[in-house]
Amino acid sequence: MVQKYSINQEKSYQKLKLNKMEVDKETEAQIQELQIIEQNLQNVLMQKQALQLELSEVENAVKELSSAKDEIYKITGQVMIKADKGDIEKDLKEKQKVIELRVKSLDSQEKNLSKSSEDLRKEVLGKIKK
């Protein structure tokens, strides 16, 4: 999914570079704005991907914790210490909720940036084709 945007982005930039001599200052500013929006979109997508990986790890930890019958240990820094199963489970579920909220927020940002990018791209290409 991350590659999809970079391929579209590259195609747009190639088209825009070909016609760069024909564009006015306002259109150049819009092209720069489009590049910034698409860079922001790439950043959001990378953050979202990292959070989804972290969420998957937390979900696996919760699953493993629920099936654990022996003593539970937690790694803190470079030390492994014995911990209460209930406390660990509570911490993991809280972390899971926070990550889910962040992913939801990034989804919203992704949609907004994608829409802005597409709208601005259409506007710029429309001006260039005239």
Q: What is the pLDDT of residues 86-111, one digit of tens each?
A: 999 999 999 999 999 999 999 999 99
Q: How far is CA 124 from the centre of its chain?
A: 25
Report in angstroms the alpha-carbon separations of 63 from 59, 60, 112. 6, 5, 34
DSSP characters for 1-24? -HHHHHHHHHHHHHHHHHTGGG--
SS3 79: strand
pLDDT of residue 1 exceeding 50, the answer is no
Predicted confidence band of residue 52 (pLDDT cuts 50, 70, 90) = very high
Question: In b/e form, how buried is each residue of 81-106, taking b as 16+ CB within 10 angstroms?
Answer: eeeeeeebbeebeebbeebeeebeeb
Q: Is CATH 3.40.50.2300 the right assignment for the domain spanning 2-129?
A: no
- Are 48 and 110 spatial neighbours (Cβ–Cβ below 8 Å)? yes
